[in-house]
Chain A
Amino acid sequence: MMRMRSLLAAAVTAAFVVTPAAAEPVKALATFSILGDLVRQVGGDRVTVETLVGPDGDAHVFSPAPADAKKAAAAAVIFENGLGLEGWIDRLAKSSGAKWTVVIASKGVTAQKMEDEEDGHAKGHDHGHGHEVTDPHAWQSVPNAKLYVANIRDALIAADPEGKQAYEANATAYLATLDALDAEIRAGLAKIPAERRKIITSHDAFGYYAKAYGVEIISPQGVSTEAEASAKDVARIIRQIKAEKIPAVFVENITDKRLVERIAKETGAAVGGTLYSDALSGPNGPAGTYVDMMRSNLRELTAALSS
């Protein structure tokens, strides 16, 4: 008995002593896949990133499970998009009961408003159907993504001051990549004549993209995937496509594509490829990282609009 107890005591002491002197990776939690990728790029080896809403998932209607509350409790830093994307974050905070350091990645971004469904065809009537909400999809514009990266870098430095140099180096390198990406997108879109730079897509996730890169986005569904289209919306879009000869309609990876395909069939527009709006694809897909996602979207847009 005495032998057992002393053995046990020795083992316990050893466990404490054997704790590595090197720092354990910082545990970070990102609310959705795109943000998770950005955190990974800045954090590098020093950070392990978990995401709540995975690839091809819909962050607008996510319902957290107890496992997610556990992940949140275990994380040292939690990154959320803000701007109203994660309607469920407060409930998760209360239920997980852990001490939170929540970082709003979109701090400093000039928020855009989602306009009334009747934008561009202002008929002067105003009813509850299309009220103004803040558009949360700020990451669709690369300059905004750079702001995200800066916020992420600062938050990681605050949580893990020892890694300051690593984070700054990673962030600087990634910001350079983003600059190149931004230039690539502008160059690619410039090749398309301005009057053809219009697309139809199933949900209003590309407002910031439209503003930054000069593409006009029209959609039958509202800001969030929870909204339902009315016959008038669909009729208006069909008339517009026919009148302006818009070349292509696009389907997103998180919404039902049947409505968009119906519109395409009725107007003779081509159905373009998949556009990634709120989530990355799986790691083997064309949009496994943020940069890949923007490049994939650019490819699909230019392919459909320049033909």
Chain B
Amino acid sequence: MTLYDAFVGPFAEFAFMRRALVGSLALSLGAAPIGVFLMLRRMSLTGDAMAHAILPGAAVGFLVAGLSLPAMTLGGLVAGVSVALLTGLVARTTVLKEDAALASFYLLSLALGVTLVSLKGSNVDLLHVLFGSVLALDDQAMLLLAGVASVTLVALALIYRPLVLECVDPGFLRSVSRAGGPVHFIFLGLVVLNLVAGFQALGTLLAVGVMMLPAAAARFWSNALTPMFAVAILVASLASVAGLLVSYHFDLPTGPAIILSAGVLYLISVAIGWSGGVLWRLAPPRHHRAA
């Protein structure tokens, strides 16, 4: 098998491979920076919580319009944003921190969703239908992914400074500007947008995985934000390509293959990343110690 056959061939021959590639690259562009922020704000488990939290929205969409993907996605978005906003509200105004607030609201949301689904009496696993697959990207899903990535990048660029300040020194931000609250909520909105679009187009595993694993890996290569973003996007893109090729050549399910590739890159980063990688810490320090 030539190098061409191994790396380029599958994409040249099959449209679905090309679409899967473009779709996951679009997701990587938008979701990876968001993931870096989530990781820094210690909200890394938001993705999984959100996957459950959107159920009542999808259920309402289903009750209203049947098995219609746009309706269910819209419903999911509304539910996700509500949970995110309520979480943010409770975390900012009460003694509860974000993790506990999110946990409580997503559980409420999930229970509500399950109840709503059983009302209609059908056994259709709504989330099974709502969550897509990277191999089955139709035009609508691709436009959704591209749109969400674009909106995310533009929004992040616009709110970059207050957002960073809000992450690292919210007290100071509060003393010099009133942008803290709105920026926080815009950020949460972006998180939900990326997640819901990701779920609908690519499924939960891929959407959350591409958001969080590259961010975690990036942490080990730099202490500064901009390089972290760059590394996260790079890791996410590499994982997408590698995962697709592995799934193609070795007959493994695609979503997990992409996440496993990202996982390998993450483990490598943990080991040898030069900003906190385990190997560097084990090596003897270069500088003299006093006496």
- Complex partner residue of A61 from B10, B125, B251, CB under 8 angstroms: B125
Residues in A neighbouring B129, C-beta threshold 8 A? 256
Listed stretches B101-109, B132-140, B180-188, B212-220; interface member: B132-140
Is B96 among interface residues, defined by CB-CB distance under 8 A? no
Is B222 among interface residues, defined by CB-CB distance under 8 A? no
Is A298 among interface residues, defined by CB-CB distance under 8 A? no
Is A231 among interface residues, defined by CB-CB distance under 8 A? yes
Residues in A neighbouring B118, C-beta threshold 8 A? 65
B15 touches A53 (CB 8 A): no
- Complex CA gap A263/B255 in Å reads 18
- Complex CA gap A127/B252 in Å reads 10
Residues in A neighbouring B138, C-beta threshold 8 A? 258, 261-262, 265
- Complex partner residue of B123 from A53, A232, A238, CB under 8 angstroms: A53
A233 touches B251 (CB 8 A): yes
Is B124 among interface residues, defined by CB-CB distance under 8 A? yes
B249 touches A232 (CB 8 A): yes
Task: Report the minimal beta-carbon distance from A97 to chain B, rounded to whole angstroms.
Answer: 22
| A229-B133 contact given A235-B10, A238-B14, A266-B14, CB 8 Å threshold | yes
Is A86 among interface residues, defined by CB-CB distance under 8 A? no
A261 touches B136 (CB 8 A): yes
| A230-B137 contact given A56-B124, A238-B14, CB 8 Å threshold | no
A54 touches B121 (CB 8 A): yes
Residue of B nearest to A55 (CB): B122
B133 touches A259 (CB 8 A): yes
Is B195 among interface residues, defined by CB-CB distance under 8 A? no
Task: Report the minimal beta-carbon distance from A90 to chain B, rounded to whole angstroms.
Answer: 19
| B 1-33 to A, binary, CB cutoff 8 A, 1 in contact else 0 | 000000000100111110110000000000000
- Complex CA gap A263/B138 in Å reads 10
- Complex CA gap A233/B122 in Å reads 31
Residue of A nearest to B133 (CB): A259
Residues in B neighbouring A228, C-beta threshold 8 A? 133, 253-256
Is A225 among interface residues, defined by CB-CB distance under 8 A? yes
A230 touches B251 (CB 8 A): yes
Residues in A neighbouring B15, C-beta threshold 8 A? 265-266
- Complex CA gap A57/B123 in Å reads 5
Residues in B neighbouring A232, C-beta threshold 8 A? 247-251
- Complex CA gap A57/B121 in Å reads 10
B124 touches A259 (CB 8 A): no
B14 touches A235 (CB 8 A): yes
| A56-B122 contact given A231-B10, A258-B132, CB 8 Å threshold | yes
A62 touches B252 (CB 8 A): no
Residues in B neighbouring A238, C-beta threshold 8 A? 14, 16
| B 247-271 to A, binary, CB cutoff 8 A, 1 in contact else 0 | 1111111111100000000000000
Interface size class of A (residues with CB under 8 A): 20 to 34
In A179-226, the 8 Å CB interface with B consists of: 225
A231 touches B254 (CB 8 A): yes
Is A26 among interface residues, defined by CB-CB distance under 8 A? no
Residue of B nearest to A125 (CB): B251
Is B288 among interface residues, defined by CB-CB distance under 8 A? no
B248 touches A231 (CB 8 A): yes
* Most central of A56, A232, A261 by chain B CB within 10 Å: A232
- Complex CA gap A127/B247 in Å reads 13
Is B128 among interface residues, defined by CB-CB distance under 8 A? yes
- Complex CA gap A53/B255 in Å reads 29
Residues in A neighbouring B10, C-beta threshold 8 A? 231, 235
Residue of A nearest to B245 (CB): A231
Task: Report the minimal beta-carbon distance from B135 to chain A, rounded to whole angstroms.
Answer: 5
- Complex CA gap A265/B138 in Å reads 9
A231 touches B125 (CB 8 A): no
B124 touches A231 (CB 8 A): no
Residue of A nearest to B15 (CB): A266
- Complex CA gap A124/B118 in Å reads 45
| A230-B136 contact given A54-B122, A225-B128, A235-B10, CB 8 Å threshold | no
Task: Report the minimal beta-carbon distance from B257 to chain A, rounded to whole angstroms.
Answer: 8
Is A99 among interface residues, defined by CB-CB distance under 8 A? no
| A 100-134 to B, binary, CB cutoff 8 A, 1 in contact else 0 | 00000000000000000100000000010100000
Residue of A nearest to B13 (CB): A235
Contacts A57-B124, A230-B257, A231-B254 known; list 10 others, CB within 8 Å: A62-B123, A129-B252, A228-B133, A231-B16, A234-B16, A234-B135, A254-B124, A258-B133, A259-B133, A262-B136
| CB-defined A-B contacts under 8 Å, sample of 9 | A228-B256, A230-B254, A231-B10, A231-B244, A232-B248, A234-B14, A262-B16, A262-B138, A266-B14
Chain A positions near chain B (C-beta within 8 angstroms): 53-58, 61-62, 65, 117, 127, 129, 225, 228-235, 238, 254, 256, 258-259, 261-263, 265-266
Chain B positions near chain A (C-beta within 8 angstroms): 10, 13-17, 19-20, 118, 121-125, 128-129, 132-133, 135-138, 141, 244, 247-257
